[in-house]
Every structure is written in structure tokens, then in C-alpha cells.
A and B are shown apart, each in its own frame.
Chain A
Amino acid sequence: MFLQVKNLTKHFGGLLALDNLNLTVSQGEIVGLIGPNGAGKTTFFNLLSGVYQPDEGEIIFLHQRIDRILAHRITALGVSRTFQNIRLFAQMTALENVMVGQHCRTRAEVKEALLRTSGFQKEENEIQGKAKELLDFVGLLSKGNELARNLPYGDQRRLEIARALATEPKLLLLDEPTAGMNPVEAKELMSLIKKIREQGVTVLLIEHQMEVVMNISERIIVLNYGEKIAEGKPEEIQQNSLVIDAYLGTE
């Protein structure tokens, strides 16, 4: 199993953010995670990426438990993420942001940096080359030398995705990638996500725009009050009475 989550529970004081969550994701899928505000979606991402530790339960990624290890180690194992409220390195250029993403895949230490060994130069060139490729992939190459904070909102979202891809993830977690985008930009992003999947990356995304999530996901998981209330193909979810109740309330 690619990703397996068993009985995952997380409290914040008296608030039960995630309640006994069980789910699985197979390799190569695009899975949508939806639910009303406060349903525990972002908490789930924070647990997956090691930002928080769960109170109970297990997360097994490629036969390895990742629920008790540090975030940077999880990234090294191949789980990468973006953030709901974009978290770029504001004072660094777009290119440098992506270069930082390759930190755990490269190894030049201080000695190499100070002596400027041939190995260091070679690795630096590789890092730059790969960063440019990724910027090109998300369509930002021409803006590579702009500071991240000067980029327009939609570009920042795409830059964050490029940075996440630079860590060479097997599983990519996208937290509301189209938030704040207009319909045209959202459509472009959808094709970008499909392109990412074609490269063999499994994608798990939180999304509020139903048009996007229904169009792109092969499978949708619905959370409400920290519990999974439904799971299935987009068509099934649209008909599911529990989901309709959660979003619109009962009559």
C-alpha cells in the first residue's frame, strides 16, 4: 500500500480536530479531500507532513511509519506539500526558492562551499539546471530572478508547487492550490496537476472549488468534524446525502 492512515486522531485542547480517520491512497492517484471549514483537512496535511504529531493512530507511507518522525525526514522520504496561506521565502528569488527545495537531494557541505571544489560547482550547476526546468514546467522561467514576494498571487501558488516538486516527492500534498485564482488560472492549474501526475507523482489535494475538485480527482474523500463521512468517485459524492447535508444542512 502506498499510503495508509489508521485510526488517526488529533486533539487541540478540547477540540477534536481529527477523529479516528482511516484512509488509503494508491500510487498514481489524484485524490481530492473536501469538507466544510474546520473539518480537519489541513490538520490532516499537517500530520502527514510532520508539522504536528498525532495523538493516536498510524501513518504508513511505503511500508514505513512516518507519524513520529521529523518533517524534514518525511520530506526526504518523498512527501512534499504546499500551504494554504502561501509560505514562500519572500526575500529570495523564484529560482532560489526552487533551489532550496533541492536541499535534501543534494549534499554540498561547508567544506565544499568554502573550497569551491569541482564537485561543488557541478552540483551547483545541477541544482540550477533542475530549478530552471521546474520553473519552466510551472511556466515561471521568465520570472526566475524576481523576488518571490513581488510575484502575483497565482504565480506564487505555482512557485510553491515548483518548490515542492524540487524535493522529488512521490506524494504531493496540495492545500487549496486554486484559492484566490480566477477561473482561467484555476483551469491552467488543473492541467498542471494532471501533468504532475503523469510524471508519476501521487497527488492529494484539498480544494474548495467544486468544479476543480470534481473535474480533476479520481476519488474524493469527504471530512466533516474530523470524521470521514464519505468516499468515492466524484459522481457518487455528488449524490451522497450525507455530503449534501454537511454542506447545505438538512431540511
Chain B
Amino acid sequence: MIFIEKKIFLFLLIFFLLFLPPLGQSLGMYYTLHISALIGIYLLLILGLNLILGFVGLLDLGFIAFYACGAYLSALLSIRGWNFCLVLPATIILTVLLRLLLGLPALRLRGDYLAIVTLGFGEIMRLVLNNWDGLTNGPKGLPRVGEAISSPKFFFLTFQSDLSFYYLILFFVILGIIVSRRLDNSRIGRAWIAIREDELAAETCGINVDKVKLFAFCFSAIYAATAGVLYTHWIKFISPESFTFWESVLLVSMVVLGGMGSIPGVILATILVIGVPEFLRGLLGTQLVNYRMLFFGLGLVLMVIFRPQGIVPSKRRELELHPSNE
């Protein structure tokens, strides 16, 4: 698997996601579409978390809070009749602002302390959503009776059918992958990885560590917010129980499982963790799938022991080494 060129590997994955749902539908397995869409939404989340955890090395245990923020904001706006074209950017901007407010004080902390603060923030978010009845309808979720979340509409284009909306999700996933890859191989991406490797050395190399970290922290929220918006419009119902601490833990585990900072790795891990148990449900029956967390935990323990670098370890790009004057 590692021997396949990374680019080809990514193309294969996208190809797989592109044709899986129509194939499933033609075989009469309509559930495939739903699972694929869920994988797509999780891919966006994972790509975002991979930026902050995989590249910059900041252990963010509250990433789900910004996914929740994106989901709820878009639901609130959509219920008020806003067009999807406006809901998406507005939600992204507000979520990034919230992320900035958390990042300003929290990023002064290092390592485990940051993990605790982000974990705490994730819980605060869930509790607020659960208890602010007037705005979020509490545990009963959104939309309320009589309200509805509209289908996404881009000027003339309406994503009415589920399949077309699925391709919209896939579009954002591909965009997310391109953005991640381009940042990785740039001055900014190198600065991120340098910070992960050695913060002090990065600072003495002339990198404004605080600023670069804050930027990455906020940038990752764009992914979370987009995933939230898409989730809301796909499921058309959200409640606080979708955004628990365990979701955050699951996300972090997927990044670790795939390989920190490895884009193909985290994509593969997402498909394995989110997709495979759901597909197996049909084949093996519900009984076995109920134990999926057990298998997942076992897999994670084995990975950490035998292959701590992840399924597809992050590999640095090799460059031509001829001196430039030749």
C-alpha cells in the first residue's frame, strides 16, 4: 500500500467514493449512499483535524465543538430561510471567529494543557447546545416541529436528489484534499511541521510560532464548519447528542490510526472506521457490529504497539538534488 505513489492512491480513493453510491443503488443497496455521504462529511472533519493535529502537532480534543457550531449555525440560518450560498460562508466566518476566541488564550498552553482546555471547551459547547432551549431547542434538537431545513441551492442549481447532494459533499472533500496538499508543500506547511517537530528551533528559524499556530488553529475550523453545514443539510435534523466528547476521541484516533500528517492515511482510516462497520452490518448482522468499538479499540492498541507511525505513514516529499547552477 505504501508503495503506491501517493497521488495514485488518492485518485483511487476518490474514484471509489465517486462510483460507490450509484453502484450500491443499482444493486438495490440504498443505504450505501447514506454511508458514503457520512464518510464524506467525516473526511472533511478529519482533514481539518489532521491540519492541526497531524501537521502542527496540537492535540485538540474539542474539535467536535466547531463541527457542532457549524451544524447548529447553519440549521438556525437555514430555518430562517437563508440560501445555502449565504449559509455556508456566514457559518464558516462565525465558526472561525469562535475558534479565534478560543485560540487566543488557549494556544498559550502547551501539550497536555491545551488538550485539557480544548476538551473542556468541547463539553461547554455540548452543554450550551443542550440547555439553551430558546435558541437550540435543547435535547429535542433542530428543526422544531413545523420548521424545515431547505435543500442546498446554488443560484440555478438545486441539490434536490440525494445523489446530487452527495456529489456536492464529495466536491468539498476533494477541495479539502487539494487545499491540505497545497498547504503541506508550501512555506506555511513547512512552518507547521517545523513547529510540530521543535517549537523552539522553529522560533529561532524566524517563524512567528504564536501567529502561525493561531492561523492553523483557525484554518482548521473552516473544515469543521463546512462539515457541520453539510451534515445539517444532509441529515436535516441535529441534536446535541451527535456532538459528544466521544466523537472528538474517535476523530483523534482516526488521525493516529491513519498516520499523523498523512493525508492518504487519514482518508483510509476514516473509510475503515466509519464505512467498513456499516457495510459489514448488512453482511454479518447487527449483533457483531454492536461490538465494533471493541474491535476498533483492539485495532488501535495493536497499531500503537506494532505500527505507531500509522497505516500510511506521513512521508516527506523528495526533491531533485542537482545544484541549481547546473
Q: Which residues of A contact B (CB under 8 A)?
A: 49-51, 70-72, 75-76, 80-81, 83, 87-93, 95-96, 99-101, 103-106, 108-110, 112-114, 116, 120, 123-124, 127-130, 132-133, 136, 141-142, 144-145, 147, 163, 166-167
Contact = CB atoms under 8 A, between A and B. Distances in A.
A129 B324 contact: yes
Contact of B219 (A72, A110, A112): A110
- By size class, the interface of chain B is 35 or more
Highest count of chain B CB atoms <10 Å: which of A49, A90, A95, A108 = A95
Contact of B201 (A87, A95, A112): A87
B183 A114 contact: yes
Contacts of A133: 323-324
Contact of B197 (A89, A105, A114): A89
Contact of B200 (A87, A93, A116, A147): A87
24 contacts: A49-B204, A71-B203, A71-B204, A72-B209, A87-B200, A87-B201, A89-B193, A90-B197, A91-B196, A92-B197, A93-B319, A95-B319, A100-B194, A100-B205, A103-B206, A113-B182, A113-B188, A114-B182, A114-B183, A120-B186, A123-B187, A132-B322, A141-B323, A147-B316
A103 B316 contact: no
Contact of A100 (B190, B215, B321, B323): B190
Contacts of A103: 187, 190-191, 194, 205-207
A132 B205 contact: no
The majority secondary structure among interface residues of chain B is helix
Contacts of B200: 51, 87
Given A99-B190, A100-B205, A110-B183, A91 B197 contact: yes
A80 B193 CA distance: 20
A160 to B, nearest CB: 9
A63 B86 CA distance: 53
Interface of B: 179, 182-183, 186-191, 193-194, 196-198, 200-209, 215, 219, 314, 316-319, 321-324
Contacts of A116: 182
B324 A132 contact: yes
Q: 10 tightest CB-CB pairs across the interface, nearest first?
A: A104-B206, A129-B324, A113-B186, A89-B197, A75-B206, A87-B201, A145-B318, A71-B203, A100-B194, A108-B187
Highest count of chain B CB atoms <10 Å: which of A91, A106, A112, A163 = A91
Contacts of A136: 323
Contacts of A96: 190, 193, 316
Given A89-B194, A101-B205, 19 more contacts: A70-B203, A72-B205, A72-B209, A75-B205, A81-B204, A87-B201, A89-B193, A92-B194, A92-B316, A93-B318, A103-B191, A104-B205, A104-B207, A113-B186, A113-B187, A127-B187, A144-B321, A145-B318, A145-B319
A123 B319 CA distance: 15
Contacts of B197: 88-92
Contacts of A101: 205-206
A214 B202 CA distance: 32
Contacts of A99: 190
A87 B205 CA distance: 11
Contacts of A163: 205
A144 B200 CA distance: 23
A69 to B, nearest CB: 12
